[in-house]
Amino acid sequence: MSRIQSALTGERPPGVYRFNSRLAPATVQHIVEPAGWRCFRLDGREISDKASFLRACATAMGFPGYFGHNWDAFEESLRDLSWAPAPGYVVLFDHAGQFATVAPGEWATALAIFQDSVAAWGQTGVPLYVLLRGRGIKAPEM
């Protein structure tokens, strides 16, 4: 059973994980989406600061047009996702280490929001997994 499948079956608890896998993003989606889950991909090569991170999230996750492009709006949107209903969510963040390296303070804020959102979704019974790939990422390994 793959690490992604262990998330889908609940064998691995929801969380923010370092994901050292060479699976192509499309392959991850092909594993996740048949289960009815949503998979959102962030490409960290395009992220160098808070503004580009929030833009990438808004695009990848299809945030509503009224998204405010600030940390509060990001947290509220990530905890809502009513426009993308699913029994579970996966955020695949490739090259996350670039953002962590070039903007460590902003990265810390984003990471805290991801962690808080995992907990908030957990209270509703809907799992959220944030999978971080790239160098320089400090998180438990999936």
User: The whole model's pTM is what?
Assistant: 0.94
Tokens standing for 22? 């060479």
How high is the pLDDT of residue 99?
A: 95
Q: Give CA–CA dist 97/107, Å, rounded.
A: 9
How high is the pLDDT of residue 139?
A: 86
pLDDT along the chain (142 residues), means of 10: 82 94 92 95 95 98 96 98 97 96 96 98 97 88 82
Token pair 């699976």 is at which residue?
Answer: 23
Task: State in words which class domain 3-132 has.
Answer: alpha beta
How high is the pLDDT of residue 121?
A: 97
